[in-house]
Amino acid sequence: MRKTVLVAAAAAILAWATSASAEDLTFKLINQSPSPITAFHVSSEDTSSWQRNLLAGGILDVDYEVDVIIADGLNTCIYDIRAEFEDGETLEDYGLDLCDLGSYIFE
């Protein structure tokens, strides 16, 4: 069951990327928190609102990871991220250089 949920989450994230190009940014999202991630948003640092939920229709369960592809056509590595958890918690992090990080771990 958990693998099915993870596959659904990966499919939702990959669906955002219609075609890969040199500007696409890929990083690994890892959930080592005590609660499943039910929503995950990424926005460029110069945007004042959160973009759509990349996990729409899925979750990222505890101790699972997924590759995230950002194919927004922007030439930036600096993004803000927001995760919403099944237990009601919300975490946000700002000004992340996702090109240098390569992965982001929620703990």
pTM tops 0.85: no
pLDDT in tens, 14-24: 444 444 444 78
Structure tokens at 17: 């990327």
Residues 6+ apart with CB under 8 A from 64: 2, 6, 30, 31
pLDDT in tens, 81-103: 999 999 999 999 999 999 899 89
**Range 26-37 burial, b when 16+ CB lie within 10 A, else e:** ebebbbebebbb
- What per-residue confidence (pLDDT) applies to 9? 52
CATH of 2-106, one of 1.10.3470, 2.60.40, 1.10.10, 2.40.350: 2.60.40
pLDDT in tens, 28-45: 999 999 999 999 999 998
CB 103 within 8 A of CB 32: no
